[in-house]
Amino acid sequence: MKVAQFEKPHILNVTTKPLRMLRQDEVLVKVEACGICGTDVHIVEGASRSSPPVVIGHEFAGVVEDVGRGVMEVAAGQRVAVDPNISCASCFFCRRGIVHLCSDLRALGVDLDGGMAEYCIVPAKQIHTLPQNMPAEVCAFIEPVSCAIHGIDLANIRVGDTVVILGGGTIGLIMLQLARDAGAARIILVEPLQYKRALASQLDADIVLDPNVSDVKTTVHELTQVGADVVIECAGKVETAQLALELARRGGLVEFFGVCPIGENISVEPNKIYFKEMTIVGSYVNPHTFARSIGMLQSHKVRLDEFLVHRFPLDGVHEALQFQREGRTIKSVLLPGQ
C-alpha cells in the first residue's frame, strides 16, 4: 500500500509498505480522508515529538475493510472515524481517569503508523462509527473538533462572557463556534491574515482584529474596560502566549491551546497572576470528547461550509503540507483513494 512516511527531520517519503496481518482486536481501515494540521508540519520539521520511521496523519476516517477475529463492534463496510490517541488503561493517570495524560500515551500518526496511507491498522477501541452520509472531508475535522471541545470544557465560559480568541486558523474558527454555543456574548478574534478574519466575521465573530494594525491590548481594554473573561491562545506562538496573559481581566482565565515550540519561554510576573487571581490552564488532546465531536458535526452546530479546504491525493502530501505551513488554507485534506 502507498503511504506517506516520516523518516527523519525534513524527510517525508511517499513510498509503499506491506500490510501486516491483523491482530485479534484490530481493524483495517481504508482511509477516505486525512486532514493535515500544524502538528504534522511540526513533526516533519523535527520540532514535535514522534517516533520515526512512522506514517503520519492523525485526523482521519474511512471504511472498515477487515476486522480481527475478536472484533464484534464493527464489521466490514462500516464508515468509521479513528481517535488517534491510545492510552494504556493501567498507569497512574489512566487509573485516575485522566487518560489523555497517560504515561504511555501513543498516537496513531505520531508514534504508530497513521492515516496518510491507503490503509491503516487501528485498535478496535479507537474506532467510532459514523453516519453513512457524513462527507469524507467533514470526517477529517472530527479529531480537531474533539480537541477543541476539551478546550472549551476547560475554558469554563459562562453565559454572557467576553472571550478573546488568538488565532483564526482551523482551531480558532472552531473555538469561535464552540465559544458561542457555550454562551459567550461577545467574541473578539485576533488574526493577521485577511481571509481568515473574513471567515471569522462570516462565522459571527463580534469583533475581528488585525494585530498588525490594532494594538490588541489597548483595544480589548477599551472594549471591556476590565479585560476579557476568557482568553484562548490558538496560534501556538510565544508572542500570542505572552499577549494572552495581558488580555484577561482580574479573576479571568487564560487557556494555552496552541502548540508553542518546545523550549521557548515567555516571561510571567507572578505578582500579577496573584493580584489578578488569574487562572491559567493548558488543554491537551481530546479525552472522551470524540463522540461529542461527531454529534456537533452531524448536527451542523460546527459549520465547516465556509472553511477554505484544499484537497490533495496522497502523492500531493508535500504540497498539502506547504499549504498548511504557509497559512494558504484552513485545512489541507488528503484523499488517499484518489
Footprint on this chain of Zn ion (rule: CB under 5 A): 37, 39, 87-88, 91, 94, 102
Residue among 252 and 258 whose Cβ is closer to Zn ion = 258
C-alpha 40/C-alpha 56 separation (Å) is: 7
Residue among 94 and 253 whose Cβ is closer to Zn ion = 94
C-alpha 17/C-alpha 12 separation (Å) is: 14
Residue among 35 and 316 whose Cβ is closer to Zn ion = 35
The β-bridge relationship of strands 2-8 and 11-16 is antiparallel
Among 42, 58, 100, 150, the one annotated catalytic: 42
Residue 314 near residue 4 (C-beta atoms within 8 A): yes
Integer CA distances (angstroms), 77 to 108, 132, 293, in order: 22, 10, 22
CB of 146 to Zn ion, least distance (A): 10
Tell me, yes or no, if 39 is annotated catalytic: yes
CB of 63 to Zn ion, least distance (A): 21
Among 16, 39, 162, 170, the one annotated catalytic: 39
Main-chain phi, psi angles of 76, to 5 degrees: -55, 140
DSSP state of 46: T
- To the nearest 10°, report the CA torsion of 107, 111, 117, 118: -70
CB of 159 to Zn ion, least distance (A): 30
Residue among 109 and 252 whose Cβ is closer to Zn ion = 109
CB of 173 to Zn ion, least distance (A): 14
Find, among 162, 27, 52, the residue nearest to 109 by Cα: 52
Find, among 45, 56, 51, 44, the residue nearest to 17 by Cα: 56
Tell me, yes or no, if 42 is annotated catalytic: yes
Q: Which three cell numbers stand for residue 55?
A: 506514517
Q: Cell 484552513 maps to which residue? A: 330
Residue among 228 and 234 whose Cβ is closer to Zn ion = 234
CB of 66 to Zn ion, least distance (A): 26
Catalytic residues: 39, 42
